[in-house]
Amino acid sequence: MTALVDQRVVTPRLLACVQRTGAFDLASHVAVHGWPKALDLPPSRRSRLAPWAEELLTDIEDAGLTGRGGAAFPTARKLRAVLSTRRRPVVVVNAMEGEPASMKDQVLLSFAPHLVIDGAELLAAAIGAKEVLICLPDDRIEVGSVLRATLAERDRAGLLRSPVHVATPPGRYLVGEESALVDWIRGGPGLPVFRPSKGAPLTLGPCVALVHNAETLAHVALIARHGPEWFRSAGVPGAPGTCLVTLSGAVARPGVYEIEMGTPVADIIDLGDPTATPAAALVGGYGGGWIPSSAFKAPYTPSAMRELGAATGPGILVALGSASCLIAETARILGWLAAERAGQCGPCTYGLPAIAEDLAQLARGTGDRGLLRRLERRTGQIAGRGACRHPDGAVRLVQSVLRNFPSEVSEHAQGRPCASALGETPLPLGVPHWP
Amino acid sequence: MNPTPTIAATSSQALWYLTRASGIVALLLLTGTVVLGIVTAGRFRSANWPGFALQALHRRLAGIAIAFVGLHVLTTLMDRYVSIRWIAAVVPFTSSYRTFWVGIGTVALDLWIAVAISSVLRRWINPRHWRALHWLAYGSWPIALAHALGMGTDARLSWVQGLVGISVASVVLALGWRLHRRWSDRPPRQDPLAARRTRGDVLGANR
């Protein structure tokens, strides 16, 4: 797995320790990053924040840190929402990383586990949490053993401040959605739960869950050490800081790269030595979107990607080689997403398989004359109607193809044979776990 | 024979029938809403009934109930046979006609309005405040029931009494189910991770 960490990253922050020292044990971690002073201060009491904790929350707010799990929700706003419930929080570290094309959380936990635990411990102490629960999928056994060894190492050094618990939910795509993860922790099957808004608290018995992506917590650990100005010194005004990106597809050196927010997409792809200039790239994973090579000069930020019909998601870039067919790939992804659905709502249960079948027909060039209009109608009917954002992500992906690649779409719709449709897929699809 | 009074009498009668009918239907719909609300709050779900489906049904039913309550109030105000001023529909105990029974109907209405408005605005208000306001529904339902029994023209009809009996029984049953669930869940509820805690897997302070 060492090959996954590239040495030529632009701004090593999260992965600085392993890149400089080649190690990630506690001594190296403290030597490179230092020890956060706040962890030696008394933690917040149940209803009153310690002065240092108030300061940390303000710093996170000023840093403009957003969640790195996919939704880019402001981290500070999530914290404040949890505090406003007046229930005792439990910090949940979300390292589920259900996106098959994403490896950044497992790389981070494998090569900078102390930074993630620092972040979780800092937040737990800051908001007076009862304990910390780190969730990683049951099939990532190696990451789990690194994590347990790291926790034992901290425990031996007497540096664990909160009780830390490791849980291994099933490695299904949807369990990574935060309400589904909390549902699983409650003892449920791990399905998304309807919430009136993203800020609505997720209760855990008498407590409330504060769910943060593993990378988000690693950023918190660095903001606590260096402050918000330092954090903003990388990235661009609307999207500060660095982020991890999993680059794959038609590149010679696929892997996880730490980049500054706002780096042009072309420069990120260049880090992986593309075999040729890719025709298109999938940005944001299977709930993101395809952008054409003409848009590669765009900065990698949530807002710029949204404008292009894609999303940054959990930091995924898949370069599409000339031997692959964009529409066949999208049909594959839709088939996979349809299989990974929770099966709770109509839009997903009936809509996703129908759209997947439409796309498969389009890719084979066997579609009838009404195909495109049907596809547009179906994508329009599904968005925003599920209990979670699963169908919305799938629809965004399809709409990005219809919008950004009109000539490819119309050629396929006219039944022209596509040489690449049966070509090798650059996408890691994994085995659907559901139903 | 002058036809005008007959028409007036007929339309007034129609309003009167409409008031009574919409009142009974509103009560049944509110009962259904309350029962579904209790079941939703107790987090009922099964393989065929995801939790949010009940929630959605609860909300839709509440919307229909509000429409019937609105019809009930509107026809009452329009009915000239007994004159109840519009202020009596908003401010409790200001009706000169059967002050108490009309008044508690107004109390129930005001409480429902608070519950309904806070739910429409749920996205923008503090969940704790929404929850506190939603508890008003538990107070409002029995008041609405009392209004129906004390005021209702048809309250003595056996089939209406039967419906009231079924309503009370279903709310009591739902409440009993929820309390039972709460009590039987007691020990795990104290521990947020009870369902997934495995022995020896926790490290750190106070373990």
Which of A133, A163, A387 lies nearest to residue B205, judging by beta carbons?
Answer: A163
Phi–psi pair at A286, nearest 5 degrees: -75, -10
Model confidence pLDDT, tens digit, residues A401-421: 999 999 888 888 888 767 666
Q: Does residue A48 carry a pLDDT above 70?
A: yes
- Residue-range domains of chain A with CATH: 2-233 (3.40.50.11540), 245-320 (3.10.20.600), 326-413 (1.20.1440.230)
pLDDT value, residue B70:
94
For B185, the closest chain A residue by CA position comes to A205
- What CA dihedral angle connects B36, B39, B41 and B47, to 10 degrees? -110
User: In this complex, do B202 and A164 lie within 8 Å of one another by their Cβ atoms?
Assistant: yes
pLDDT value, residue B1:
43
pLDDT value, residue B83:
76
Least confident span in A174-178, A193-197, B173-177: A193-197
Residue whose token pair is 């909390």: A182
Q: Burial-class residue B67 by CB neighbours within 10 Å (0-12, 13-18, 19+).
A: middle
Model confidence pLDDT, tens digit, residues A259-309: 999 999 999 999 988 878 888 999 999 989 999 999 999 999 999 999 999
Band the pLDDT of A423: cuts 50, 70, 90. low
Least confident span in A31-35, A357-361, B96-100: B96-100
Q: Quick check: A155 contacting B, CB < 8 Å?
A: yes
How far apart are the CA of B194 and the nearest CA of chain A, in angstroms? 8
Alpha-carbon B61 to chain mean position: 10
- What CA dihedral angle connects A286, A288, A292 and A293, to 10 degrees? -90
Q: Quick check: B197 contacting A, CB < 8 Å?
A: yes
Which of A84, A151, A345 lies nearest to residue B203, judging by beta carbons?
Answer: A151
Q: Does residue B186 carry a pLDDT above 70?
A: no
Q: Does residue B188 carry a pLDDT above 70?
A: no
- Give A383 or A402, the one with higher predicted confidence: A402
Band the pLDDT of B24: cuts 50, 70, 90. very high
Mean pLDDT of the A79-83 span: 91
A205 contacts in chain B (CB < 8 Å): 188-192, 194
Q: Express the helix, strand and coil content of chain B in percent, nearest 5 each.
A: 75, 0, 25
Which of A130, A155, A205 lies nearest to residue B194, judging by beta carbons?
Answer: A205
pLDDT value, residue A429:
59
Rounded to an integer, what distance in angstroms lies between the CA atom of residue A406 and that of residue A294?
14
Band the pLDDT of A347: cuts 50, 70, 90. confident
Band the pLDDT of B206: cuts 50, 70, 90. very low
Q: Quick check: A85 contacting B, CB < 8 Å?
A: yes
User: Would you say A227 and A59 are in contact if contact means Cβ atoms under 8 Å apart?
Assistant: yes
User: In this complex, do B205 and A161 lie within 8 Å of one another by their Cβ atoms?
Assistant: yes
Q: Does residue A28 carry a pLDDT above 90?
A: yes
Tell me the pTM: 0.81
How far apart are the CA of A299 and the nearest CA of chain B, in angstroms? 32
- Strands A88-94 and A164-167, by their bridges, are unpaired
Band the pLDDT of B195: cuts 50, 70, 90. confident
- Strands A242-249 and A316-320, by their bridges, are parallel
Token pair recorded at residue A320: 């599409």
Band the pLDDT of B199: cuts 50, 70, 90. low
Token pair recorded at residue B207: 């373990």
Alpha-carbon A400 to chain mean position: 19
pLDDT value, residue A324:
83
Q: Provide the CB-side half-sphere exposure for A180 (13 A, CA).
A: 24
User: Which of A81, A66, A83 lies closest to A240 in space, CA to CA?
Assistant: A66
Model confidence pLDDT, tens digit, residues B60-74: 999 999 999 999 999
Q: Does residue A432 carry a pLDDT above 70?
A: no
Band the pLDDT of A115: cuts 50, 70, 90. very high
How far apart are the CA of A415 and the nearest CA of chain B, in angstroms? 41
Tell me what the pLDDT averaged over chain B comes to.
Answer: 83
Residue whose token pair is 């540096």: A159
User: In this complex, do B196 and A184 lie within 8 Å of one another by their Cβ atoms?
Assistant: yes
ipTM rounded to 2 decimals = 0.71
Token pair recorded at residue A146: 């690194």
B40 contacts in chain A (CB < 8 Å): none
B206 contacts in chain A (CB < 8 Å): 163
Least confident span in A62-66, A165-169, A313-317, B51-55: B51-55
- Give A250 or A419, the one with higher predicted confidence: A250
Question: In CATH, what is the architecture of B7-182?
Answer: Up-down Bundle (1.20)
3-state secondary structure B147-184: HHHHHCCCCCCHHHHHHHHHHHHHHHHHHHHHHHHHHH
pLDDT value, residue A415:
80
- Percent of the residues in chain B that have a pLDDT greater than 70, as a whole number: 87
How far apart are the CA of A241 and the nearest CA of chain B, in angstroms? 29
